[in-house]
A and B are shown apart, each in its own frame.
Chain A
């Protein structure tokens, strides 16, 4: 089975800190994604990448950036964390068009205080 691993399950950071959320997948998938999940809002796409060093903005990229230096790793960066970025962050990966669906990590619950 494809495994998508997010480095932290829970994270508490201070306002203004630079925060790195790491995601690694082990099945050579081309596509990787970052979503945030908030109650009543479902999953909203932040950024995705369809190849190494390539990135595309999703629906809510403001306040975030990403890095994909290697195929298996996709990092989400909060340049200056704010309290409104307190959320559950989910990483996912997929082959090409996503026809097989996405495989999700277990999520990182980030609290910004």
Chain B
């Protein structure tokens, strides 16, 4: 069965510092991989996605993620964090076939200190 692990429950980063949020997945083949963000009191917004091809994908708000098959990882990065990036971040995976559903990690809460 597919599963997603986000090892960090809570991370605090200084404004302007770089950010990396970790995500590991378990799946037999290469799945579709996603990162979503949820700001307080808001719905989930898609940051970026990976299906195939270039293993470094660019998303919205200056985020990027790198797919590493050998490590079953899909870590999210941002070179310089802004206070507005404080939110909860979810990594998710879905199989490349109809009739399946996104499976989410438990999320990482990002706090940004000034």
Which of A's residues lie within 8 Å of B, judged by CB? 31, 33, 35, 40-45, 48, 50, 56, 58, 90, 92, 96-102, 104-107
Contacts and interface: CB of A to CB of B under 8 A. Distances in A.
B43 A105 contact: yes
Interface string B78-114: 0000000000001000111111111111110000000
Nearest to A48: B101
B101 A97 contact: no
Give the interface SS of chain B, mostly helix, strand, loop or mixed.
loop
Contacts, number: 59
Given A50-B98, A90-B43, A106-B43, A101 B34 contact: yes
A96 B100 CA distance: 9
Given A90-B43, A99-B51, A101-B34, A42 B100 contact: no
Contact of B102 (A33, A50, A105): A33
Contacts of B17: none
Contacts of A92: 44, 102
Contact of B100 (A98, A101, A104, A105): A98
Nearest to A54: B99
B96 A97 contact: yes
Contacts of B105: 42
A42 B43 contact: no
8 contacts: A42-B90, A44-B104, A92-B102, A97-B95, A98-B94, A99-B32, A100-B49, A105-B43
